[in-house]
Amino acid sequence: TLLSAIGSQVEPIINLSLNGLGFRDTAWTMLQPHGVPSGGDWALERMAAAFFEGTEGLTLQGLHFERVDGNAVMLSRYHRRAVISGCDFAWLGSTAVALWGWTDELSAGGVLGVDGTAGNHPQGITIIGNLFREIGIWEKQSSAVFLAKSA
């Protein structure tokens, strides 16, 4: 992780804006600890070159990610009204943008299933006008935009 901004649902980071920054040449992460964000065999590391958790009004504009050998951007847990626009993602080891919420899967002995009613997930996210190319160099289960436990 080159940049990390961590708030929470109770105390979010408000109106953080990043414009025109470049991120490059990070280590591959495919053997780092990972989780299973949804049913099936898809696994993902909860990490990225630019990692954000607990924000409202986050803006990422005109950022450039090149030769990031893991995930480029991760919006983890609580987020509201984030905008990712005009960014360039090239030669990435894994996923370009990942939105991954947090749900209660264990209370009541797990009988409630995946309970997302606490709202600890990305919601109202806009991803527009970005360029995604040469992604998934190392991780074959990768995507331009990955959403799990998100609204």
Closest to 98 measured CA to CA, from 113, 110, 111, 84: 84
User: What Cα–Cα distance (Å) separates residue 57 from each residue in 12, 42, 63, 125?
Assistant: 10, 29, 17, 9
Distances (CA, A) of 70 to 17, 38, 74, 95, 130: 23, 19, 11, 7, 18
Q: pTM of this prediction?
A: 0.92
Interior/surface letters 126-136, b for 16+ CB within 10 angstroms, e for the rest? ebeebebeebe
Which tens digits make up the pLDDT trace of 93-135? 999 999 999 887 777 777 766 778 889 999 999 999 999 999 9
